[in-house]
Amino acid sequence: MKRYLRITEYVWLTLAFVCVAVTTYYFIKGDNDNGTFAMVVTLFAGIMYSLRRRFNRHVERAAKKQQELEKKQ
């Protein structure tokens, strides 16, 4: 499960970087409508990466606490 969560985190990060490149391309090309849409997709991918990262850290901390409790008993 840990590996799956890490992979999804990196997928969202990669998607965010790709979207930044596409957004930059559209704005350099002068296509502001598509550039604005790509910027919204970039924002969404960035938010999803942030949420996934926060969730992964929460799961890791909870697992670590559980292991510590099991060691004490």
Predicted TM-score (pTM) of this structure:
0.77
At 2 the pLDDT is 77
Structure tokens at 13: 């990060």
Give the count of domains, the chain: 1
Residue-range definition of the domain harbouring residue 9 = 2-72
**C-alpha pair distances (Å), 8 with each of 2, 13, 15, 34, 73:** 10, 9, 10, 26, 34
Predicted confidence at residue 16, as pLDDT, reads 94
Burial classification of residue 58, based on how many CB atoms lie within 10 Å of its CB (0-12 exposed, 13-18 middle, 19 or more buried)? exposed
CB atoms within 10 A of CB 1: 7
pLDDT of residue 72: 78
**Does residue 1 have a pLDDT over 80?**
no
pLDDT tens-digit series, residues 13-68: 999 999 999 999 999 999 999 999 999 999 999 999 999 999 888 988 988 888 88
Run of H or E residues at 14: helix 2-29
